[in-house]
Chain A
Amino acid sequence: MKVYFFHLMPYADLDLSQVDKHGGAWVTLPNTNFDSGKGRALYERYIGELELADQLGFDGVCVNEHHQTAYGLMPAPNLIAAGLARTTKQAKICVLGRALPLVNNPMMIAEEFAMLDHLSNGRLIAGFVRGIGTEYFSNSVNPTFSHERFQEAHDLILRAWTEPGPFSFRGKHYQFDYVNLWPRPVQTPRPPVWIPSQGSAETVLWAAAKERRYTYLQTFSPFPQALKAFRGYRDAALAEGYEAEPSQMGWAVPTYVAETDEQARRELAPHIEAFFNKFIKFPSLEMRLPPGYSSIASTKALMVAKFQARANATIDKLIEQGIIVCGSPKTVYERIAYCQREMGFGHLMAMLQIGSQPAEMTNRSMRLFADEVMPRLKAHDDADSRARVASVP
């Protein structure tokens, strides 16, 4: 198994009462709640944590993109990735991902990723996402074109990376008379493409298609939902006439390690509960699911099911549902090993800083994880998951 450190870079100093006062931590939470001095210190600290992950031997460091929110301070994740490309030595640089439909010029994403591939000497993993619903409010992009723009921007970027230029690209949303990427990426034929999602069936099928075989990354999900997404991926692969490798599947999960289970729960509780109850709180369900972002059927289903369920998250419920992994090194190892056997993923993105979790806890948890959990996980080879998965009906 390959093990990565995933950082969301939240505004950890957030006055949580402001979230309730303004209805959420996204788009409409006034930025007067952001203190520049604290923000600057957080960037310093978080980049240090990502660099530490490289030194501790994680296989990769991961950043992502969100806009106008205390949830994450990375509207431009490639800036962080560029810094990491120079200060880390061996870790993959994973941008999970850039939100393709939000830009009017996807060539900029092709260019920036190609540059990152050079700055990191071929360590880039390029994630493509649509952005979450709120992003269509904060970026003023029409959500009813989200799927079309994602698809078209993806096609353009892939062609720009792999086909000799100049050529012209004529799409419905994007038109270029000159596509001629300088620089071309380091990796041949192109950087690996990963697709993070919360389990949309369409996305799973699309990523698994035989001409793509993109690594699918499941984020923030109860155990049964993650299991369903990975099974969906493997089934889709079989339907396409091939068997999915574990390396085509990744699981992103908030993770915390302390000396004992009791200590881990006690220490993490306020921070993980702040994360799920405050940092992920949206001003409204409609801002999370704008018109056309998902099909009407899935919008309706999501409206009733998913998001209310987390309104009163507690650490015990989160552990029980399998949304997070928390405990002693032994507990954490056994839980992840169990999930790997059941789900069959080959990449683990451990989110070892979450919400308001302070520096000292993060540092201690990262080191315990790296010393006592990660070596055992890395020793797992693909057979550990594949054998078990093959026997699952």
Chain B
Amino acid sequence: MRQSEIDVLGARVRVLEVGEGAPLLWLHGPEGPRAEPLLTELAKGYRVIAPELPGFGRCPTPSWMMSVADVAYFCLDLVDALKLGRPFLAGHSIGGWVAADMAIKRPDLFPALALVAPMGAQASAPGVDIFAISPDEAIGAQFHDPALARDVIAARADEEIDIGLQNRTGLARLGWTPRFADLQLPRWLHRVRARTLVVWGEEDRIVPVDAHAVFAREIPGAKVALLPDCGHAVPVERGVEAAAIISSFLAGARA
């Protein structure tokens, strides 16, 4: 993986990059850009560009960041700054919400869009409130398989505790109320022209899987892939399988 930094609108953005091929902009979920094994698998066919979203990781919450729309515009500026042309766009969780908003704002810019358990649409209530539980419990709540969650927690370095707290702050800024949703989002999803794939874990307790129906209904021609025995942390819990589904969808979209 290559790591670089770029200034966008006075904010310093850390960008992970891996793989060669057509550019694929990856917008991370609540745990930050290192979404493995998904990214490594995607990098076998694409040049994956994974920026750290403002308000996450080592970036303190910017005062201008009031909503997902601000992050979406920021990432559109980032596409220009990185000279990505017309990249594929994919995102997980909060990053999926930002990606959907970018595709609404610039229907012309993205040939294809992959939304992995995106936040943004309101369906049934979450099974847990991740802000009411400890960071470790919140990791646990994102997995269907508790053994995988234990591995992730055990592998966490000390410095990641600060990053974890910052990620929670960024997530809260964007999704505190209504929790992880924009009630107006479904109304404008019809503007998306990118060919769209929605991937979801059937056992998602953070953003329950029935929200997939909102994206499938409102985005013209959207395809859906549901993964059984999988929680919210799709890139980790079922990263290899999700990458194969996404790669094959993007390959079809390119044609």
B8 at the A interface (CB under 8 A): no
Chain A proximity mask over B188-222: 1 for CB below 8 Å, otherwise 0: 00000000000000000000000000000000000
B172–A143 CB distance below 8 A: yes
Cβ-neighbour of A292 out of B132, B162, B169, B177 (below 8 A): B169
Cβ-neighbour of A285 out of B129, B134, B169 (below 8 A): B134
> 28 interchain pairs (CB within 8 A)?
A136-B176, A137-B129, A137-B132, A140-B176, A140-B177, A141-B176, A142-B173, A143-B172, A143-B176, A144-B169, A144-B173, A145-B173, A284-B132, A284-B133, A284-B134, A286-B131, A286-B133, A290-B131, A291-B165, A291-B168, A291-B169, A292-B61, A292-B169, A292-B172, A296-B165, A299-B165, A300-B161, A300-B165
B177–A283 CB distance below 8 A: no
Q: Known pairs A148-B63, A286-B131, A290-B131; list 5 more (Cβ under 8 Å).
A: A144-B173, A145-B173, A286-B132, A291-B169, A296-B169
CA distance A137 to B176 in the complex (A): 9
Q: A287: which B residues are within 8 A, CB to CB?
A: 131-132
Chain A proximity mask over B59-82: 1 for CB below 8 Å, otherwise 0: 001010000000000000000000
| Nearest opposing residue in chain A for B130, CB measure | A286
CA distance A66 to B46 in the complex (A): 53
B166 at the A interface (CB under 8 A): yes
Which of the four size classes fits the interface of chain B?
10 to 19
Shortest B54–chain A CB gap in Å is: 13
Q: B172: which A residues are within 8 A, CB to CB?
A: 142-144, 290-292
Give the top 5 A-B pairs by smallest Cβ distance, nearest first.
A291-B172, A291-B169, A142-B176, A291-B168, A144-B173
Shortest A126–chain B CB gap in Å is: 27
Chain B residues within CB distance 8 Å of chain A: 61, 63, 129, 131-134, 161-162, 165-166, 168-169, 171-173, 176-177
CA distance A137 to B134 in the complex (A): 15
- With A140-B177, A142-B176, A143-B176 already in contact, the answer to whether A286 and B165 are too (CB < 8 A) is no
CA distance A296 to B163 in the complex (A): 9
Q: A284: which B residues are within 8 A, CB to CB?
A: 132-134
Q: B134: which A residues are within 8 A, CB to CB?
A: 284-286
